[in-house]
Chain A
């Protein structure tokens, strides 16, 4: 008998590593997301009991998949009305339906992992289908691919649990009613669809990296999930340059996380951070991936953002930063991704490469961008350049405007301190 604590740890670990695999493989049998989820949850619950008495299996993914599938077959066999009422997913591979599967006997103990097809890509492409609202794509990915409970997903996005439950239910209904296919898209559609998946993972990462509200700057749980997802995608799509670019971006940005706040929780700027504490292991992994991602022409947006992060990671000190290189990379980035937020970051880099006057001019061009109205970083960037130019009164007004626009405590404290430093 294995001790309870090691069993609990093994189940938690298998939950994190294997959930997507087990769910995707179970969907193949149920062709219903809801039923598959229920059966996979049962399988994890059963693992807690069975692994304690019979030991932890070597191949946990296969064990869990087999138990979940068997549970699904049992349910479908004994409940004809359930079988009829299931809204079946559209599967473009010829697979036996639930009725035929029910005639098979699935042996629990002798299924090897390599005999179970890896359906994780089909699952993630379904979660991130462009016909599903962006906020629901993220929610579905966390729920179905990462196995978070609805309550956990709701907490991640600071909405109530009933709101999140409704959002997820609505998205699942649309998958069934509009017949969103459960498949890996054909080659012609693949680049756009991979981009949709990466956008979801990137949104998850940025939400975790700087939490939009609350007391902590970083939501570690969301960052870890996005890193897990990016690594999983890298394993599933090893030759895709955009996937490599996103993984690099996450690694290189997250490598600096420990130094972003001081011991008192105060926000530290890139200039103030102790670079010896940056995660060198993550940085070297990230830089190797950036090199690979940049080999594709033209480079994608994640590769370019990662390349910018790499410039910072490689500079031994703030004053060694190659700002001209940063501006050059931003110039490429705004071309392929003409987003006002990217243009704002470019303007900040221009201010550091060519001085605050040039930066201010670049910012002025963005003053009327509707997407930046209400965006605290625009006001904060203008405040900083005005401060460097000694235009204290204007700088003060901009810091005050930025303060009105952020809900994150750590960022608010930083802006308040800057205001005080301006003096009277």
Chain B
């Protein structure tokens, strides 16, 4: 078995404009996804939007530059993730297809193992 992280990228503006009902519907779908895949789920979280993000970078002189905002501004931003266990990429893709992402899509990345 291997571990993969499913990164959820969605348009934040669409989320901000979503009505209460739509919001509730997507949350319900996430709950159902979690129940349905409890066997392989190792963790996961929803993130606050990128307007809450703070980026920290060490500059050439060795001091830290702390700035408001995400590392990279993109239309579809990382909004949450799941950590899963799967036998292979096909299985991971199969699980990723079930992740609700009405305003974007998901990306599957294998977790790197150091031995």
Contact = CB atoms under 8 A, between A and B. Distances in A.
Interface of A: 90, 92, 129, 131, 177-181, 185, 189
Interface in B87-101: 87-90, 93
B3 to A, nearest CB: 10
A178 B86 CA distance: 11
A179 B110 contact: yes
B2 interface: yes
Question: Chain B: interface secondary structure?
Answer: mixed
B2 to A, nearest CB: 5
Contacts, number: 26
Interface of B: 2, 87-90, 93, 108, 110, 112
Given A180-B89, A181-B90, A185-B90, 14 more contacts: A90-B87, A90-B88, A92-B87, A129-B89, A131-B89, A131-B93, A178-B108, A179-B2, A179-B87, A179-B110, A181-B87, A181-B88, A181-B89, A189-B90
A181 B89 CA distance: 7
Contacts of A181: 87-90
B62 to A, nearest CB: 33
A131 B108 CA distance: 10
18 contacts: A90-B87, A92-B87, A92-B88, A129-B89, A131-B89, A131-B93, A177-B112, A178-B89, A178-B108, A179-B2, A179-B88, A179-B89, A180-B88, A180-B89, A181-B88, A181-B89, A185-B90, A189-B90
Output the residue of B87, B90, B108, B112 with the most chain A CB within 10 A. Answer: B90
B109 to A, nearest CB: 8
Nearest to A177: B110
A417 B112 CA distance: 59
Nearest to B86: A179
A123 B6 CA distance: 27
Nearest to B108: A178
Contacts of A129: 89
A233 B2 CA distance: 32
A189 B87 CA distance: 16
A189 B89 CA distance: 13
Contacts of A189: 90
Contacts of A177: 110, 112
A290 to B, nearest CB: 33
Contacts of A185: 90
Contacts of A131: 89, 93
Contacts of A178: 89, 108, 110
A341 B112 CA distance: 41
Contacts of B110: 177-179
